Structure 1
Amino acid sequence: MTSANYPKTYRNVMEVLVVKEVERQLKQLPANLARYIEPSQVITFALNHLPPLYASSEEGWQQQCHRAEQDLQEKIQTVVRQSFAAIQRDPLRSSTPLPPPEGTEERIAHNALNALQELLLQGDLTWNTMVETVRQTLVQAMEGELTQAQTEKITRRQRKRDRYRGL
């Protein structure tokens, strides 16, 4: 039996607690420093230095949360602080983030954002900027402000995508 046969009904409580702590400490950093920090790198570094606390039920989740808050809160804070220090040592290090696992809502959203980036010719599109970018592009299209080159490029990409999908 493969892992694909098991629905994901287990989660690591430590992931949630570390994310909260990273967000808390990130807010305390000066803005000019915080913009150079990739939170996922800090989170990953910290999780690799903390014990996992998995749960597969609501009761187990509550028990693991209680255990972490009682026994590990100080360690979480310390490890996250150390993680920021480790990541800051090499601020120019670049990395390509892993895509979410296939079939997950996150992967579907990731693929949708990539498709919008291509369609709207916006390589730096994020979910935070997507709504405004789509709005601006639609307004430009309605007001005839898109250049002929932009319109042709969007049309070519859409036709190519449609051919690929067999439409």
Structure 2
Amino acid sequence: MPTTQPEQSHTYRNVMESLVVEEVDHQCQHLPTRVANYINKTEVIAYALNRLPPMYATSQQGWQQQRNRASREMHNQIMMAVRQAIAAVQRDPLRSATPLKVEEDRNSQTALQELQELLRTDELSWQNVVDVVEQTLIRTARGEVTWRKRGAASVQAGDWHDNRYFL
């Protein structure tokens, strides 16, 4: 069975993203106000990035080197990709889309995992969270569950037994 690696913090970045954002801002400043107000910059950025090669860096030195290289060698390509993106997004001004909620989804999953640990149940999901919390509160009121502050020095891994939960 293959092992999965723990999720790493974001230790790499695509240099093209910042260059495209700058170019979108620059080009939008030169548009008539009534046109600029109807442009979804996020869609323009995504459209342009999908037409440019990624250039990733994992260190500050690499970031600066890639940024200098992209600015020098790909300026015209970036400018044209953004121009095309603005034209494409302008063609369909009535289209609406639901934006991605990446960070919100990640935060929700983290909160659910923390609740699973706190309530000591693997059976917890967003569909049953209210029922599980309610049952735990009832068991606490009956004295079946004992809570202590999380991270207290007296709480050891072996203390979790006999339906005793320590918070």
Q: TM-score, normalised by structure 2?
A: 0.59
Larger Rg: 2
Which amino acid is the alignment partner of residue 77 of structure 2?
K
Q: Provide the C-alpha distance between the structure 2 equivalents of 1:34 and 1:6, rounded to a whole number of angstroms.
A: 38
Choose 2-11 or 49-58, whichever is displaced more. Answer: 2-11
Deviations 1:143-162 (A, max 9, x none): xxxxxxxxxxxxxxxxxxxx
- CA deviation after TM superposition for structure 1 residue 84, in Å: 0.3
- CA deviation after TM superposition for structure 1 residue 5, in Å: 2.3
Deviations 1:42-98 (A, max 9, x none): 000000000000000111101100110110011101110010001111111111111
One of 52, 55, 66 as aligned partner of 1:53: 55
Relative distance call for 1:75 and 1:93 in structure 2 (3 A) is same
Identity of aligned residues (%): 50
Which amino acid is the alignment partner of residue 67 of structure 2?
C
What is aligned with 1:32?
34
Moved over 6 A (4+): none
1:72-151 to 2 correspondences below 5 Å = 72-101=74-103, 102-103=105-106
Q: Provide the C-alpha distance between the structure 2 equivalents of 1:99 and 1:59, rounded to a whole number of angstroms.
A: 31
What is aligned with 2:159?
none
Which runs of 5 or more structure 1 residues have no equivalent in the other structure?
A: 109-164
Q: Provide the C-alpha distance between the structure 1 equivalents of 2:96 and 2:59, rounded to a whole number of angstroms.
A: 38
Relative distance call for 1:100 and 1:3 in structure 2 (3 A) is farther
What is aligned with 1:7?
9
One of 69, 72, 75 as aligned partner of 1:70: 72
Which runs of 5 or more structure 2 residues have no equivalent in the other structure?
A: 109-132, 135-167
What is aligned with 1:19?
21
Q: Provide the C-alpha distance between the structure 1 equivalents of 2:4 and 2:32, rounded to a whole number of angstroms.
A: 47
Cα RMSD, aligned residues only: 2.4
How many residues of Structure 1 are paired with residues of Structure 2 in the alignment?
111
